Amino acid sequence: MPSSVSPLFGPLEISKSGLTGLKSFCVLAFHQPESGGDRLVNSRASRIAIMSLDIFKLNGKVAWITGGTKGLGLAMANALASVGADIVVNSRTRAEAEETAKKIAGEHKCRAIGLETDVTKPEQVSSLVKRAAEELGGIDILINNAGVNVRQPTIDLPLEEWQRVLDINLTGPFICSKAVAPQMIKKGWGRIIHLSSILGHVGLAGRTPYSATKGGILLLTKTQALEFATHGITVNAICPGPFKTAMNEVLLKDPEAFKAFVAKIPIGRWGYLNELDGAVIFLASEASSFMTGAALTIDGGWTAQ
């Protein structure tokens, strides 16, 4: 059995067994020396901590992914369904939402509903939340993913376009969070995950409204984390870098723009959709229970420079 010495806990032994999917676990045995100093454990016997991968399971939870019919939203919906969650997706097109829900339910053998909902319309959001409560038992996890981008410099950007981006990217998450929070508070448990961006951390010319909204999402995350902390609700953000989505199609089809973006990514490529799976499952589950008000940046190293 491998062992090492911890300056705090003394000799440390690590053993692993039963590595079979979600049933796997590891045992960490911290052995406290029998003499000298204040003890960090309550007895001289070993403290055994068992970490089970069951803490990532979402059986019995209902997750709503806004804009979850395509791109990163669809990838996250499938990721959460794969670990047991029932799913709600919305789109401004009813057929698209219903077809997506049908596919998710069939692939993951879960319950899923797809509804025509505009996240900037409070009455439509309230109707979705009510429907989810009636059919699935209420929303436990909210992924505020719906968003748009406009690529124009400030002096050429119509005010209407600025307002449209703000309405969808920043006001929408506020409306949806406000709508689901009362049910989460009543249950004493909830997860709100906002989709920000690396452009919430750094600027990029020609992305004024998008960057402004994604920066705003980071402070919305921190503020809501403080407001909901005593109710068993955590609020965190994910900040993706360049991923191959429909929103970035214009860049993917432009060889020079594509090359310029890759040059900014230390890993040397764009992200694949499934590379957000681990982060969203972690933030939606018990595994992140002591984490709130934080932002996970998944960008291939872009913002490390």
Q: What residue type is 168 in one-letter code?
A: I
> Cα dihedral sign for 234, 172, 159, 244?
positive
- 3-class SS string, 154-196: HHHCCHHHHHHHHHHHHHHHHHHHHHHHHHHHHHCCEEEEEEC
Cα 286 from chain centroid?
13
- Interior angle at CA 81, CA 68 and CA 296, nearest 5: 65
Catalytic residues, by residue number, are 210
Nearest to 63 by CA among 184, 148, 226, 170: 184
- Ramachandran area for residue 71 (φ above 0: left; ψ -120 to 50: alpha; else beta): left
Helix (H, G, I), strand (E, B) or coil at 94: helix
Contact yes or no for 117/128 (Cβ under 8 A): yes
Q: Which residues of 155-176 are buried (b: 16+ CB within 10 A; e: fewer)?
A: eebeeeebeebbbbbbbbbbbb
